[in-house]
Structure 1
Amino acid sequence: MRSIAAALLASAASPALAQAAAETVAATATDTATASAATAEDAALKALYEAEWAWRADEFAREVDESGRSTASDRFPSVTAEAQARRLAYWDDVLAKLDEIDVDALSPEERINYAVFRTKLEAEANNLRYKRYEAPFNSDTFFWGGLNPRTPPSAVEDYEKLLGRMRDIPRFFDENIVNMRAGLARGYTVPKVSTIGRDETMVPFTAAGADNPFLKTFRNMPSSIPPEQQAALLADAETVVREQVAPAYTNLLAFMREEYMPNARDNIMAESLPDGPAFYQSQIREYTTLDLTAEEIHQIGLEEVARIRADMERTIAETGFEGSFDEFLEFLRTDAQFYAETPKELLSFSAYVAKRVDGKLKDLFTVLPRYRFTILPVPDEIAPIYTSGRGGLESCLMNTYDLPSRPLYNLTALTLHECVPGHSHQAAMALEAPDRPDFRRQTYFSGYGEGWGLYCEWLGTVLGVYDTPYEEFGRQTFEMWRAARLVIDTGIHHYGWSRQQAIDYLLANTALAQADVENEIDRYIAWPGQALAYKLGELTIRRLRAEAQEELGPAFDQRPFHDTLLNLGSVPLDTLEAEMRRWIEDQKALHNVAP
């Protein structure tokens, strides 16, 4: 574009040029004003999320390293009612300030930041409004669990911070107990059925001596720490376990067994809680990031269950099995050929799948992360009530407890979902993604993240990693599992289904083992809405891929599609749709695809 000065000089030579110059000046002025407005709105938004991130680190006892990653400090956050009220007031103030920002004036990247920031804060504030902190655990995730690191720290200062947190456990537990008593008083508790057996996860930590899991961590220090420092740290840990950790767990265990569990609510329906219908709708919004009602989700689930059932019937026919659907499920649940004999065999199977997929990642992405994960067994103290697997940045956990309940035909799909290219790979991509505010790198939306995990299970069909019809049936049973969740979660929390009704529905439609089914149903009972994220997220990603394939035709390449999707980081599903459709239009222009 010519400069304003050049346009003015040209106008002196000709009326026509004068008119053109005037139009150029006006257009330039408009562009300048638009850019100025965007700059101002961008700056206002950036100031809000950067201030909130710094406040959050202090408020929740976190430290931010040079890369912007938030890590644990030497203490736990306060969880008192006063602290929660302070946080709610802060977030409400930030949300009010967000209302003042002109979203249409934001630059494209800041529009994404706005959507992520606002959606996350709305969920955080809603949880405080409904006082979810008064029921601070669910069937497999506990405030008293995960305090001992999955893998030992690597530096002295990290062990010292761990010791600081261990010393803080009594205060942290006492504050949670006060909150739980307040929940008991108003009828807001974890459902009783989802507390059964969860007390057992505390028992190992009540040991005052060498068997305490914390001390196992201190006996596995890396050789890079000098022996004299190792000995000093271990001696400190033994004292802290004996004098603070074990007594705190013992006190919490007594409270759970004598006071909380006997008085927890029998009704499992979320809509029976105080402000129940509004609360359940807020959970639907938090975990799916979609504005769907329970009735709409229930119907989507029924339709998906019917579709997947037809796929499963075709796969059964491929195996040559001549019995009924129920008889095939019984065959899968009882035939020894489908089960590992040792924990190492199960872990080795998962590791082999992950390594096979590693060799195919070049077909899925153009950019790969440097950060690596490991595959570990679920810790013994939580394994009996834990899910079959769970992936994360540091490690991918596989449950080796009760091997007759861990069929190998499911393990390929589980590894794709939890490890690679699922959650562990996804977390590394998010960590290393360029040009993103620190808060974006560590924000997680279940609809996006779990949708990607389930989509990765389906990607195994594209990659050819399901070697037998039984493994393909395992994938289909996992997909059915997630579709059935749409029916079950809304069935329990909106329509008033019983626990047994939910168990029977999942057993009838999947090849999941009885133990897995019961643990899963207890999880849905204690964690309303979370189970809805998987299938709704996967349907969104599959729909966007189908749109891209149809719009681009032969020009479609799944590698940049996946790169773009993961480089966004975790975003609300409506933002994902908008950004991927923008990518489709850009690809059409790049490849000269006719509209």
Structure 2
Amino acid sequence: MTPRLLALVLAAIAAPGTAAMAAPAAAGSVSAPTAADQRLQAIYDAEWTWRKAEFAQVTDGLRSKPGDRFAGVAPADWARRKAYWDKVLADMAAVPDAELSPEQRINKAVLTESLRAEVANIGWRTYEAPLNSDTFFWGEVKPYSGLENAAEYRRYLKRLADVPRFFDENIANMRAGMKRGYTVPRIGLTGRDTTIVPFTRAGPDNPLFDVFKTMPDAIPAADQAAMRAEAARLIDGVAVPAYAKLLTFMRTEYMPAARTTIAAADLPDGAAFYRDQIREYTTLDLGPEAIHAIGLKEVARIDADMKATIAQTGFKGSFPEFLQFLRSDPRFYAKTPAELLGFAAYAAKRMDGKLKDVFTVLPRYRFTIRPVPDAIAPIYTSGRGGLAACLFNTYDLKSRPLYNLTALTLHECVPGHSHQAAMALEAPDRPAFRRETYFSGYGEGWGLYTEWLGTKLGMYETPYDDFGRETFEMWRAARLVIDTGIHSMGWSRQQAIDYLASHTALARLDIENEVDRYISWPGQALAYKLGELKIRELRGLAEAELGDRFDQRPFHDTLLNMGSVPLPVMEREMQAWIAAEKARPR
């Protein structure tokens, strides 16, 4: 999945809100832009204007929102984008780094790396498999949060009218992929067709109608009634037939023809494709063998930590027996969805009281906590954080242990992804593309780092909570072993499931969903641990260089205020910050 599409997925759980005021830039004089700065700015300003039109986005304050149609996804659309981005990359390469100001060097590095990944994916024709076990193009239609005003409702109505064209282009792409053996692995599609079913039903219970059930009071009643009537017409007469056609295609053509192999290496030129996916998601030039070795080393380290924590609980049995105890004892599981959501909300609120010890500046934008929508909950991950909402999965409560929830809340909500997104929104003024570019190594690395940070803040109240954190850390370390094992070393699905089950206390449902995610989304799962290791390495360097002068608050401020960047850029900028702090008079 391209960075742009991943950003769309993350935005799907972000509710509309007023634009936040940008935080002031760091103190100090700002030099006049160089000629090279001006050349680069002209390039990225033009690219951003083009991109907004190309992908049917509108600007609302500081954020992009869906326009009145879906972006074209036919091969000609992707060929046009590749030609344009190839030129942008060439134009940027002609701007000498040595003549750019420090901030513009970051801008160039960010846009270069993100467009490099976009162009590479078009070359691989990844648009011929526009789904994986976790994310689906048909999920882009329904707004998963409320719409704010009449203009947003009108744009949504127009998008509903565009659903047949959007689906038909994706189906045509998928058929082209089928002809050349480029499909999602069949195992990763199991049950995914059921996510389409609710959208094939006419009437007000269709999920596409949800946002019309409660509309903003600012929209006059007569306009609300007219929009509801138009929505009912479009949903029943246009969208429902398109979803029904898609469901038939998935069940009768695509799923039966999907490949039975699971490795990226089994795709056309698969080994090179997998290395490209590693580069996209980690922004590092590491091969599968090196990553596999890092994973094995981390698994061994964390395994020792987990056994020490088990000893603290007083449990006398073996490691497998302790895992079985955790998976079966009712004290560790919520009895109702409200209980699980309340546990998460309590953890988030406890963290709120510690934020003053983590940052010097806090964002104004606030997030809420919601359950994962019923339509996708059976195959959705345990939780996911976005700008305005942090989602927790309340489906199959016996698979949602409470001892994991503190770590999950830190990662997904605060000071993890929801907080991180608000910081990015209100960061020092920078180009619009910087606010909406997402690199998994940076973003997911920060999320995993915040789980570890909880140990410094007293967030884990019992050894079981700490074991939950360790099992999450082990989960991310095991991903390095499993992802590379599956996609370049011939591992089977069952081998991957057994490996994850034997090293973590994750529920069986989560383990199977996660392994299927790794199978159908090569490389993405590598970003978390590699990003976290880099952040902790930089923190260790700062502590060693600054000694008793080290303060984690400006360290965190600096890390998040740069926004999402490739890991090599993050490393370069944080090393510069450490040097500047060290040079400051005592």
TM bucket, shorter chain = over 0.9
Is residue 2:322 matched to residue 1:294?
A: no
Instruction: Name the structure, 1 or 2, with higher relative contact order (CA <8 Å, separation 6+).
Output: 2
CA positional deviation for 1:230: 1.6
Q: Distance in 2 between matches of 1:133 and 1:473?
A: 40
Helix, strand or coil at the partner of 2:351: helix
Map of 2:467 onto structure 1: 473
- Provide the TM-score with structure 2 as the length reference: 0.94
Which of the residues 305, 310, 314 maps onto 1:316? 310
Amino acid at match of 2:584: L
Amino acid at match of 2:38: A
- Provide the TM-score with structure 1 as the length reference: 0.92
Which of the residues 522, 525, 529 maps onto 1:528? 522
Which of the residues 157, 176, 179 maps onto 1:182? 176
Q: Distance in 1 between matches of 2:161 and 2:349?
A: 40
Which of the residues 47, 50, 58 maps onto 2:42? 47
Which of the residues 497, 508, 515 maps onto 2:502? 508
Amino acid at match of 1:48: I
CA positional deviation for 1:66: 4.0
Which of the residues 554, 557, 566 maps onto 2:551? 557
Is residue 2:537 matched to residue 1:543?
A: yes
Q: Distance in 2 between matches of 1:134 and 1:79?
A: 9
Identity level (%): 66
Residues 430-471 of structure 1: per-residue CA shift (max 9 Å, x gap)? 011112111001100000000000000011111101110000
Q: Distance in 2 between matches of 1:232 and 1:470?
A: 54
Does the aligned pair in 2 maintain the 1:38–1:105 contact within 8 Å?
no
Q: How does 1:442-453 map to 2 (within 5 A)?
A: 442-453=436-447
Helix, strand or coil at the partner of 1:569: coil
CA positional deviation for 1:277: 1.0
Q: How does 1:315-354 map to 2 (within 5 A)?
A: 315-354=309-348
Which of the residues 297, 300, 311 maps onto 1:306? 300
CA positional deviation for 1:570: 0.2
Map of 2:456 onto structure 1: 462
Which of the residues 54, 60, 63 maps onto 1:59? 54
CA positional deviation for 1:102: 0.9
Map of 1:82 onto structure 2: 76
Unaligned runs of 5+ in 2: 1-29
Q: How does 1:28-427 map to 2 (within 5 A)?
A: 39-67=34-62, 69-427=63-421
CA positional deviation for 1:147: 2.0
Amino acid at match of 1:463: L
Amino acid at match of 1:189: T
Helix, strand or coil at the partner of 1:375: strand
Helix, strand or coil at the partner of 1:321: coil
Residues 492-539 of structure 1: per-residue CA shift (max 9 Å, x gap)? 001011100000000000000000000000000000000000000000
Map of 1:17 onto structure 2: none
Q: Distance in 1 between matches of 2:210 and 2:564?
A: 35
CA positional deviation for 1:591: 4.2
Does the aligned pair in 2 maintain the 1:61–1:73 contact within 8 Å?
yes
Q: Distance in 1 between matches of 2:439 and 2:430?
A: 16
Helix, strand or coil at the partner of 2:137: coil
CA positional deviation for 1:106: 1.1
Cα 1:370/1:518, change in 2 over 3 Å: same
Q: Distance in 2 between matches of 1:350 and 1:457?
A: 14
Residues 95-154 of structure 1: per-residue CA shift (max 9 Å, x gap)? 111221111221111111111010000000001000000000010100001421122212
Does the aligned pair in 2 maintain the 1:37–1:105 contact within 8 Å?
no
Q: Distance in 2 between matches of 1:118 and 1:199?
A: 37
Q: Distance in 1 between matches of 2:199 and 2:247?
A: 10
CA positional deviation for 1:161: 0.9
Residues 69-104 of structure 1: per-residue CA shift (max 9 Å, x gap)? 211111100000000001011111111112211112
Map of 2:25 onto structure 1: none
CA positional deviation for 1:320: 0.1
Amino acid at match of 1:266: T
Amino acid at match of 1:587: E
Map of 1:21 onto structure 2: none
Q: Distance in 2 between matches of 1:373 and 1:160?
A: 26
Q: How does 1:15-30 map to 2 (within 5 A)?
A: none
Aligned pair count reads 557
Q: Greater Rg, structure 1 or structure 2?
A: 1
Helix, strand or coil at the partner of 1:144: helix
CA positional deviation for 1:210: 1.7
CA positional deviation for 1:211: 1.2
- Segments of 4+ moved more than 6 angstroms: 35-38
Amino acid at match of 2:314: G
Q: Distance in 1 between matches of 2:192 and 2:381?
A: 13
Which of the residues 567, 574, 579 maps onto 1:580? 574
Q: Distance in 2 between matches of 1:36 and 1:129?
A: 40
Q: Distance in 2 between matches of 1:470 and 1:65?
A: 44
Moved more, 219-228 or 40-49: 219-228
Map of 2:481 onto structure 1: 487
Amino acid at match of 1:127: N
Q: Distance in 2 between matches of 1:228 and 1:463?
A: 53
Q: Distance in 2 between matches of 1:141 and 1:420?
A: 24
